[in-house]
Chain A
Amino acid sequence: MGLLQGASELFPVSSLGHAVLVPSLMHWSFKQSDPSFVPFLVLLHLGTATALLILYREQWVAIIRGFFTAAIRGQMKTDSERLSMLLLAGTIPAAVLGVFLESRIKSLFASPYEAAGFLIANGILMLGFEVLRRRAERRAALSGESRDEQEAHFTSAERISFRAAALVGACQALAFLPGISRSGITIGGGLLAGLRHEEAARFSFLLATPVILGAGILEVPQLFSKGVPVGEYLAAAGLSGIAAYASARFLLRYFRSGRLDPYGWYCIAAGLAGLALLHFSL
């Protein structure tokens, strides 16, 4: 579960969808109603967030420094200062929607059938984002160019508008539906905002870090409740972190020229296969 969560959290394929679907299909004995399940997920998320902090450690130092400098000065002068404020603008809608809606939405859609259905919807969304991006490339007469030249036409995370950052952040709320990917929806939102694929992935990972870390830290006291096997859970969190770090490195390299389409097709195939397997009780 640690490896599965760490890898699927950052790939645009929905970790929550896989966390609901895979144990059900594999007949693993995880019960989401078990009191130790939430602490388990908390530690896995902390593992993922730690991996992202390590990956972007230099950028986070610059972002935090930039935030305080710009906040005190009342003006943004550098890219790091602007990025820190864009991340704040993107985090607030996600945090508001997360605090007020997350448990309600998750309790409504927790069955493997719904997870499989939303996984198919996630795949269609990923393909839709790429259709819109290709349309933008055609409008800019980039169809005949190489992928590197096409990507160079688009912009970096520091250059998007605050409205776009807030909208991309708000899109994260859709990921409370099991099967809809947080990274997929934010990468897609970044593409619509005019970001290069690699920059959309970077903005998505940076945006995810405070939300995942914050949610994890707030749930830490639950780890000390009775009957929680902390040692085993810590090992799973370590595996989750390693998988998340490797996934992020892979995805950043992949998105230099790659697109969301393969993940879209994977989600559709996985969702259909999941529905078939659940239907025939295999």
Chain B
Amino acid sequence: MGLGVLGIVFIIIAALYAVGVLQILTTETSGPHYKHAVLFAVLAVASFVAANFARPKTA
């Protein structure tokens, strides 16, 4: 559950970087930051994968 929520948060952050709303921790101060967006998209995927691994399995 927690990892799934984290994944959603990462997707939102990725979208904000992609449209240029989020500027923190970037070297350029304006415009979209695709590197950061892709990174957070990857982190989102990893979170969803980890959430699926942590999910209790039915035998």
| CB atoms of A75 and B39 under 8 A apart | no
The number of residue pairs between A and B whose CB atoms lie closer than 8 Å in the complex comes to: 32
Is A103 positioned at the interface, with any CB of B under 8 Å from its CB? yes
Cβ–Cβ contact B55 & A74, under 8 A? yes
Cβ of A95 under 8 Å from chain B: yes
For this complex, into which size category does the number of interface residues on chain B fall? 10 to 19
Which chain B residues in 17-59 approach chain A with CB under 8 Å? 25, 27, 34-36, 38-39, 42-43, 46, 48-49, 52-53, 55, 57
- Cα distance A91–B42 in the bound complex, in angstroms: 10
Contact, CB under 8 Å: A218 / B55: no
Q: Does A92 contact B (CB under 8 A)?
A: yes
Q: Report how far A71 CA is from B49 CA in the complex, Å.
A: 5
Which of chain B's residues has its CB closest to A221's CB? Answer: B34
Q: How far is the CA of A92 from the CA of B48 in the complex (A)?
A: 14
Chain B residues within an 8 Å CB radius of A103: 27
Collect the chain A residues with CB atoms within 8 Å of residue B35's CB. Answer: 99, 218
Determine the distance from Cα of A92 to Cα of B38 in the docked complex, in whole angstroms.
11
- Determine whether the beta carbon of A74 is less than 8 Å from that of B27: no
Complex: A103 Cα to B48 Cα, angstroms: 29
Which residues of chain A have a CB within 8 Å of any CB of chain B?
70-72, 74-75, 85, 88, 91-92, 95-96, 99-100, 103-104, 214, 218
Residue pairs across A and B with Cβ atoms less than 8 A apart, 17 shown, are A71-B48, A71-B49, A71-B52, A74-B55, A75-B53, A75-B57, A85-B49, A88-B46, A88-B49, A92-B43, A95-B39, A96-B39, A99-B36, A99-B39, A214-B38, A218-B34, A218-B38
